[in-house]
Structure 1
Amino acid sequence: MMGFILIAVAVLSLLSGGWSAPVTNCDDLTQIIEIQGREQLLGRWTNLAESTNTSGSGLMSSLDVGGSWLKHTATNESNTIDVFEAVKIFGRCYTSRSTKTLKNNTVSAEQPKTASEVLLKTGCPDCLVVSSKYTSGQGLQFLSRRNKVTAAEMEEFTKQVECLNLPSPVIFDSDKGFCPEESTKNTTDLNTATEEDYFKLAGDILGSEDVVKGVLESIFSSLVDLIEED
């Protein structure tokens, strides 16, 4: 988890002085903007932060996550995009591939799960704020051409998350490094992962004290809710 080559980034930087200041009210923060064609989405993006209310997503905040990035590549079919994603979890790289389609200002995906995505307004000149709807919930993703953004830009995204009543966002730690695109060493491709690969991921997760604590707190909270209902 939502293009311009380097010269385009430079042009955006030059134009940034004409961009409006970060917005602060929820009407502006949740305003859907028009996608200016597939080219606006192409290229490599750093995934800075994301929030989702889908089932089990709360555990993500307990994971030891490093840098996360994705790359959008145009296909031969009009308005179709190939997506490659990579994220570090517990020092190991996990990658996935999917295909998305742009139509009527909405980006749609069928795999790995059905989703529809739109872009929200942002004061960050080289960023995308991707609002996603799934069959089981909603999510918000903060992408940038840079590996780090300013505190004000991250604060604006956090306010967008709050406006949509989503959980506090997971912040990906770029200081822990990124997965290289060309390397397969210490990497698990989730599109072709074996049962052993998933057991290893589960072992890493369950071996984390923070995750175990989070699971126990979640179970305890559910039990309290059941007692109160009775």
Structure 2
Amino acid sequence: MTGFFHVAVAVLSLLSVGQSAPVSSCESLIQPLEIQGREQLLGKWTYLAESTNIPGSNFLTKMFVETAWGEITAANESGAINAIHSQKMFGRCFTLIIKMTLENNTLSMLKPFTTSTVLLNTGCPDCLVSYSKYTIGGSTYSGIQLASMRNKVTAAELEEFTKQVECLNLTPPTLLEPEKGFCPDGSSSQETTTIDLTSFSDDMASKVINLFAKMINSEGGLKRLTEMISSAIGGLKEN
């Protein structure tokens, strides 16, 4: 789950894997990988960088998101996975649990918005490079994300990901900052307040997504959204 969604849901609701040799050509860099099975995806992953063409998403991620991690486990249904995403923003933790299905090398999600994801070729031995297409408010966007089982990748691995972003004609990636620390694995911490976004009803999630879509596609919408987020941060710090 990309950073923009956590920012949008958290603020608006409060207000209302491949292992191949290094590659360099665009043809190789954006080649989808064959996913042998969901076991290839299981584990805990640190999100390190991302880029999308969703208006304002890179800006919002860079401005407000500190660190993020996710843990993928097998669901009861065959070919399905559960993913818990934990993201640190405003000195607090926001979590979201989603379910995705794996079929024909594609991970699909219907809620809170429609997403299809494939993995791209990478020379990083313990990384997932995911390329996704999102349908939000009737518009289709795309994005790429780098996750690793380590909290930091090498300069060469990051350079390869940056090249993949360029090959997909996306803006330079936004880098997260592991040195700022991560949210705890548990649902609560004496040091960090955790807000679970999973409990929002489907109706509420739909309203938030529609509002987000309208704002990012309207003139001055990003500015208004940024102001709302800044105002919410002030409220969070006072509590």
TM superposition score normalised by structure 2: 0.72
What 5-or-longer segments of structure 1 have no aligned partner? 3-15, 209-230
Output the amino acid matched with 1:162.
E
Highest CA radius of gyration, 1 or 2?
A: 1
Tell me what 2:236 maps to: none
Tell me what 1:94 maps to: 94
Distance 1:183 1:80 in 2: 23
SS at match of 1:115: strand
Output the amino acid matched with 2:67.
G
1:36 Cα offset (Å) = 1.3
Q: Does 1:85 align with 2:85?
A: yes
RMSD after superposition? 2.5
Distance 1:207 1:63 in 2: 14
Tell me what 1:76 maps to: 76
Distance 2:96 2:56 in 1: 19
Q: Indicate which of 196, 199, 204 corresponds to 1:192.
A: 199
What 5-or-longer segments of structure 2 have no aligned partner? 3-18, 209-224, 233-239
Tell me what 2:14 maps to: none
SS at match of 2:123: coil
SS at match of 2:116: strand
TM superposition score normalised by structure 1: 0.75
What percent identity do the matched residue pairs reach?
Answer: 53
Tell me what 1:205 maps to: 229
Output the amino acid matched with 1:151.
A
Tell me what 2:222 maps to: none
Q: Is the 8 A contact 2:68 2:87 kept in 1?
A: yes
SS at match of 1:165: coil
Q: Is the 8 A contact 2:62 2:175 kept in 1?
A: no
Count of aligned positions: 188
Deviates more, 1:49-58 or 1:160-169: 49-58
Output the amino acid matched with 2:174.
V
Output the amino acid matched with 1:53.
N
Tell me what 1:222 maps to: none
Cα shift readout 1:103-162 (whole Å, capped 9, x = no counterpart) = 011110111211101110000001110000112200101111111110110111011011
Q: Is the 8 A contact 2:62 2:176 kept in 1?
A: no
1:204 Cα offset (Å) = 7.8
Q: Is the 8 A contact 1:63 1:205 kept in 2?
A: no
SS at match of 2:47: strand
Q: Is the 8 A contact 2:79 2:101 kept in 1?
A: yes
Distance 1:202 1:187 in 2: 22
